[in-house]
């Protein structure tokens, strides 16, 4: 009698343990998540959910998500509770580590970028409140990073050898001609919506607005 009672309990514990250690998003759902960039401290994922699609249960560390198009998402959590969220193109949202299963319940494809923070603790770098030649607006902020909507004016330029005390993830919001050279490498001169570049803290770089008109993009500044 005791054996019959214990076996279901053991099974429940095993199932619960499996849910508690839900897989990394890319391993669990490579159809909807692709790695764009990764290093020791950060990973950037491309998110792509066709209308009506949903994901298996998976986990993320602390994140900032940048939607590139309008979308509506239902997030189902590991405990079965759910939440529906409207995501606006060009916005950003900061979220703590989570286990969930998203579903596209809107009329548009979910198209965006997800920045995952891999370091065990937040950094201590001071993030900027202004930058020469740029208009800045805070989109989302958390203990690890802040996402800014940036507009580089027509004369924006950072000279060769420019450095910052924080990491930057630069995300294009539109096609443009922003010249960016990092660590002496050949410059990236043409950008498409959703293109990503990483500029490490203390790494020399130079950039210039080559369009003659303002350029909009998102910078995730990491402490």
110, part of any domain: yes
Same structural domain, 112 and 166: no
167, part of any domain: yes
Q: What share of the chain is helix, strand, coil (3-state, %, to 5)?
A: 10, 50, 40
Q: Is the pLDDT of residue 18 over 70?
A: no
The whole domain housing 38 covers: 22-117
pLDDT in tens, 133-168: 999 999 999 999 999 999 999 999 999 999 999 999
What local confidence, expressed as pLDDT, does residue 12 receive?
Answer: 39
CATH of the domain at 138: 2.60.120.10
147, part of any domain: yes
Among 84, 117, 150, the domain boundary falls at: 117
pTM of the model as a whole: 0.89
Say if residues 210 and 137 touch (Cβ distance below 8 Å).
Answer: no
């Amino acid at each position: 009698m005791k054996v019959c009672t214990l076996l279901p309990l053991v099974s429940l514990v095993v199932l619960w343990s499996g849910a508690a250690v839900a897989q990394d998003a890319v391993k669990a759902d490579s159809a909807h998540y692709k790695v764009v960039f990764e290093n020791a401290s950060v990973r950037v994922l491309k998110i792509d959910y066709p209308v009506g699609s949903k994901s298996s249960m998976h986990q993320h560390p602390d994140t900032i998500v940048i939607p590139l198009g309008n979308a509506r998402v239902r997030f189902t959590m590991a405990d079965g509770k759910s939440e529906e969220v409207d995501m606006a193109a060009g916005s950003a949202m900061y979220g703590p580590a989570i286990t969930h299963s998203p579903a596209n319940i809107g009329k548009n494809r979910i198209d965006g970028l997800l920045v995952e923070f891999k370091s065990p603790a937040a950094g201590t770098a001071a993030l900027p409140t202004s930058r020469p030649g740029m208009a800045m607006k805070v989109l989302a902020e958390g203990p690890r990073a802040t996402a800014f909507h940036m507009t580089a004016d027509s004369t924006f330029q950072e000279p060769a050898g420019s450095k910052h005390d924080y990491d930057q993830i630069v995300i294009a919001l539109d096609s443009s001609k922003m010249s960016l050279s990092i660590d002496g490498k050949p410059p990236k001169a043409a950008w498409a919506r959703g293109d990503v570049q990483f500029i490490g803290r203390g790494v020399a770089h130079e950039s210039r607005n080559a369009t003659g008109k303002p350029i909009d993009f998102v910078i995730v500044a990491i402490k």
